[in-house]
Amino acid sequence: MTSVDVVFHYGQQPGEAKMRALDSLREVYGIRRILFKEQERTVRVEYDATRLNEQTVASLLRRTGLDITDKLQLI
């Protein structure tokens, strides 16, 4: 297993329905952790890179209705 983190900015604050949909992503095989920073409007996803890639994670987030605007570069 190769654990990788990716951080995305999002636009609109997610409502209750979107947060429930986001919570269900934790059940996707390969998603390890999802962390929100509301003040910075970022979401960090830790995932298994042997199962998923960055584009797939972004697609899964968008399917929940989260307004992904761009990806942050991690140092």
Tens of pLDDT, residue by residue over 12-61, are 998 999 999 999 999 999 999 999 999 999 999 999 999 999 999 999 99
Q: Decide: 41 and 9 in contact? Cβ < 8 Å.
A: yes
Helix (H) or strand (E) holding 61: helix 54-63
Closest CA to 44 of 64, 61, 63, 20: 61
In a domain, 5, yes or no: no
pTM for this predicted structure: 0.90
How many domains does the chain contain in total?
1
* Structural domain that includes position 62: 15-34+54-69
Q: How many CB atoms lie within 10 A of CB 27?
A: 7
Q: Report the alpha-carbon distance of residue 73 to residue 24 in Å, rounded.
A: 26
